[in-house]
Each structure stands twice: as structure tokens, then as C-alpha cells.
């Protein structure tokens, strides 16, 4: 019995020693130092017109989802974040992050704290997506570009983005139709070959 008490005391002492051991400060961890170095490098890159060096790597076609403007409904005033994500091809967590980075993107919130986006917000999202993914701006560079543009120039950029999105959506629909037709032809050929065997 005495031996059991001693082992309990030893394990209790070890636990308190572990708790009392000084923890490394967050700023001293290697991961924190890497983050700080990356932030400093990003600040230096902001001077180069907002374009990022790391963005020079090619983006895969699967990474950029074309907008699906057919989901925009005539007469509908507000869209929830899932609908906006489907329309713009941007994931919801990215939309929430962009809200914190771009003042232009400030959707209203319902009583239940759900984000309610208007068509104007969707157009702004598509413009930000174009600046970041197609024109290869950093977030800071895109923010600066949108700030530098006056309201008329910004409206022209948004209108140009919407026209490009409509054209891109039409091209995607055409390609999907072509792929379906090719698939149907291949299935027909496959059925003919299976009938011969």
C-alpha cells in the first residue's frame, strides 16, 4: 500500500513539473518565425504593383471553376453563401476570408446571422476573383487596384468582368454539350462492338 502511495506521489510530482515547465513563447516557434518571414516578404512584394512572384506558377484548370451565372434568378434580391459559392465558383471559406480583406465586399446579415449577398456583391466577388486568379494580383495588390480605381472605373471593370463571365459560361456550356455528344457517340460505338462479339 505504501508503494502505491509513493508511485501516486511521483506521478503527481511529474504532472506538476510538466505544468510548471516554461512554455515556448509563440514568437519563438519555428512555424511562427516562418509566418513572420513570409509576411515581411509579402510586404516587400506589395511594392511591385501587387503582382506576386509565387503566383507565376501555372494554375491548373481544375483550380479555377468558371462562374455559373445561370443560377442567378430574375427578381431574387438576396443569395446565401452556398448559392454564391456555386454561382462564382469560389468556396465559402474563401468568400468569408475575402470579406475580411476587401471592404467592398460586405454582405448584409439576416437575423440568424447568415450572410445575404446581392447581385452587386456577386459582381464584386467575380471582379476580385478575376484580379487574383487571372491577372495574378496578390490580395494586397488587388485591394490597392480596387481602391485606386474610381467608382466609374470600378463599375467598368465589374461590367467587363460580368461580360467575360457570361462569355465563359456560354463556352463552358458549349463544351459540355460537345462532350456529351462525343460520349454518346462512343457509347454507340461500344454497343455496336459488343453486339458483334
Q: What is the CATH number of the domain that holds 101?
A: 1.10.1660.10
Q: Note whether 52 and 99 are within 8 A (CB).
A: no
> Is residue 29 situated within a structural domain?
no
Q: How many domains does the chain have?
A: 1
> Is residue 138 situated within a structural domain?
yes
> Is residue 99 situated within a structural domain?
yes
Q: Whole-prediction pTM value?
A: 0.53
> Is residue 191 situated within a structural domain?
no
> Is residue 97 situated within a structural domain?
yes
Selection from 101, 104, 106 nearest residue 149 by Cα = 104
Going by the DSSP 8-state scheme, the letter that residue 117 receives in this structure is B
Q: What is the pLDDT of residues 39-86, one digit of tens each?
A: 655 554 444 455 544 444 444 444 456 666 666 777 788 999 999 998
> Is residue 18 situated within a structural domain?
no
> Is residue 141 situated within a structural domain?
yes
CA–CA distance, 50 with 16 (Å, rounded to integer): 51
Q: What is the pLDDT of residues 7-46, one digit of tens each?
A: 666 665 555 555 544 444 444 566 665 566 566 555 544 4
Q: Note whether 51 and 137 are within 8 A (CB).
A: yes
Give the range of the structural domain holding residue 143, as residue numbers without chain letter: 49-178
Amino acid at each position: 500500500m505504501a508503494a502505491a502511495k509513493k508511485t501516486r506521489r511521483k506521478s503527481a510530482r511529474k504532472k506538476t513539473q510538466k505544468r510548471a515547465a516554461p512554455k515556448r513563447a509563440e514568437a519563438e516557434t519555428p512555424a511562427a518565425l516562418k509566418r513572420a518571414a513570409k509576411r515581411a516578404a509579402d510586404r516587400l512584394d506589395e511594392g511591385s504593383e501587387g503582382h506576386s512572384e509565387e503566383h507565376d506558377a501555372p494554375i491548373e484548370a481544375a483550380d479555377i471553376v468558371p462562374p455559373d451565372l445561370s443560377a442567378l434568378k430574375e427578381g431574387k434580391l438576396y443569395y446565401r453563401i452556398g448559392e454564391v459559392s456555386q454561382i462564382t465558383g469560389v468556396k465559402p471559406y474563401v468568400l468569408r476570408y475575402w470579406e475580411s480583406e476587401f471592404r467592398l465586399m460586405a454582405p448584409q446579415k439576416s437575423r440568424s446571422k447568415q450572410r445575404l449577398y446581392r447581385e452587386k456583391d456577386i459582381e464584386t466577388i467575380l471582379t476580385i476573383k478575376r484580379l487574383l486568379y487571372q491577372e495574378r494580383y496578390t490580395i494586397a495588390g488587388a485591394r490597392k487596384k480596387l481602391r485606386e480605381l474610381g467608382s466609374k472605373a470600378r463599375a467598368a471593370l465589374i461590367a467587363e468582368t460580368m461580360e467575360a463571365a457570361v462569355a465563359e459560361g456560354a463556352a463552358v456550356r458549349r463544351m459540355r454539350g460537345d462532350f456529351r455528344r462525343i460520349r454518346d457517340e462512343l457509347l454507340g460505338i461500344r454497343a455496336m462492338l459488343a453486339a458483334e462479339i
